[in-house]
Structure 1
Amino acid sequence: MASRRRMLLKVIILGDSGVGKTSLMNQYVNRKFNNQYKATIGADFLTKEIQFEDRLFTLQIWDTAGQERFQSLGVAFYRGADCCVLVYDVNVAKSFDDLNNWREEFLIQATPSDPENFPFVVLGNKVDLDGGNSRVISEKTAMAWCVSKGNIPHFETSAKEGFNVDAAFECIAKNALKNEPEEEM
């Protein structure tokens, strides 16, 4: 008989300051959105119990500070991650351009056993802003980047409206699960 112990899946959320990492996590776990911006200091995490294919899992979602001064905290937080979520703001070009840096930094710090196949998921957040009129990064541009990095799954989201947040985290959980060693199953 298979063990019924609950498996922990560790997910790290990375991206520039202000792209909505904390808001996405809070929307998914607590169904809450706060209009007041408060920068994350260091890192924080929330957990959510999920069921997938008749098994229970604890999704441990780590929210990291987007400021460069906290990037040295990386090693401790990144190690043991099962999936990395890269977030950008569709209205801020620099946040999209910085995805390369966040991805590289994660791979260097986390030292996954198979960096070429490590699961990433990309979220283009704040699609609701200004009715979509402030957008500077098209979905097509983002998809092309994701394809160039090995077909990374991509979702456009709105933490404020809750748009596509559950679908994105479902994909994140599935990808984290794929990364778990077989013997733990």
Structure 2
Amino acid sequence: KLSKKGTGFVAHYAGPGFSTQYCRTAVLPSQIWDTAGQERFQSLGVAFYHGADCCVLVFDVTAPNTFKTLDSWRDEFLIQASPRDPENFPFVVLGNKIDLENRQVATKRAQAWCYSKNNIPYFETSAKEAINVEQAFQTIARNALKQVAALLGTMAGEG
């Protein structure tokens, strides 16, 4: 079970024990970068994103502007990370703060966006209340492992 700590989504659930909590049969070294949706981090994207095996996009269900920026963050990630297969690169979307009552982004709207982007897995979460966080990180870890396996298979075929 995950413990709650810190104030942000990543601060709650990422830490030194992350790689062993979710992958009982394989070690998954993890680095999680939280840009907090700040544009000043976009210029550092190449350094942060290159070699990534999964990208997690998080928006606040009580702040529609954070949902509206998902397209630009996804596109920026794909440009700067330059994955081998951008069409099939694994993303996971988290609609966070579902514990708050002033929700402004509907579940169906977020699901439709994810479906239109190659059926990205979508989770509604509350970092504060630990709702769906463990399931989301399990999916993130699984998708990252699948990406690594696919890349290793591709590289083996190139030899």
Q: Would you call these one fold, judging by a TM-score over 0.5? A: yes
What amino acid is aligned across from residue 13 of structure 2 in structure 1? Y
Unmatched runs of 5 consecutive residues or more in structure 1 = 1-21, 31-45
Match for residue 3 of structure 2?
none
Amino acid at match of 2:18: K
Equivalent runs, 1:1-185 vs 2, <5 Å: 23-29=8-14, 48-50=18-20, 51-52=22-23, 54-129=25-100, 132=101, 134-180=102-148, 181-182=151-152
Whether contact under 8 Å (1:47, 1:58) holds in the other structure is no
SS of residue matched to 2:141: helix
User: 2: CA distance between counterparts of 1:64 and 1:77?
Assistant: 10
Cα distance per residue 1:32-86 (max 9 Å; x no partner): xxxxxxxxxxxxxx66222536222222212224221231011100100000000
Asked if structure 1 preserves the Cα contact closer than 8 Å seen for 2:123 and 2:132, the reply is: yes
Structure 2 residue identity aligned to 1:61 = I
Amino acid at match of 2:143: N
- Paired residue type of 2:69: D
Query: Does 159-168 or 118-127 show the bigger shift?
Result: 159-168
Which whole-Å CA distance do the structure 1 matches of 2:26 and 2:50 have between them?
A: 24
Q: CA deviation at 1:182?
A: 3.1
Q: Aligned-pair RMSD on alpha carbons?
A: 2.1
State TM-score, norm by structure 2.
Answer: 0.84
**Would you tell me which structure has more helix in proportion to its own residues?**
2
- 1:157, CA displacement in angstroms? 0.5
In the alignment, structure 2 segments of 5+ residues that lack a partner are: 1-6
Task: Mark the CA change 1:47 to 1:110 in structure 2 (over 3 Å): closer, same or farther.
Answer: farther
The alignment of Structure 1 onto Structure 2 pairs a total of residues equal to 146
> What one-letter code is carried by the residue in structure 1 that aligns with 2:138?
E
- What percent of counterpart residues are identical? 59
Residue type of the partner of 2:12? Q
CA distance in 1, matches of 2:14, 2:90: 21
Q: Which has the higher strand share?
A: 1
Cα gap change, 1:147 to 1:163, in 2 (>3 Å): same
| TM-score, scaled relative to structure 1 | 0.73
- Tell me if the contact between 1:127 and 1:158 (Cα under 8 Å) persists in the aligned partners: yes
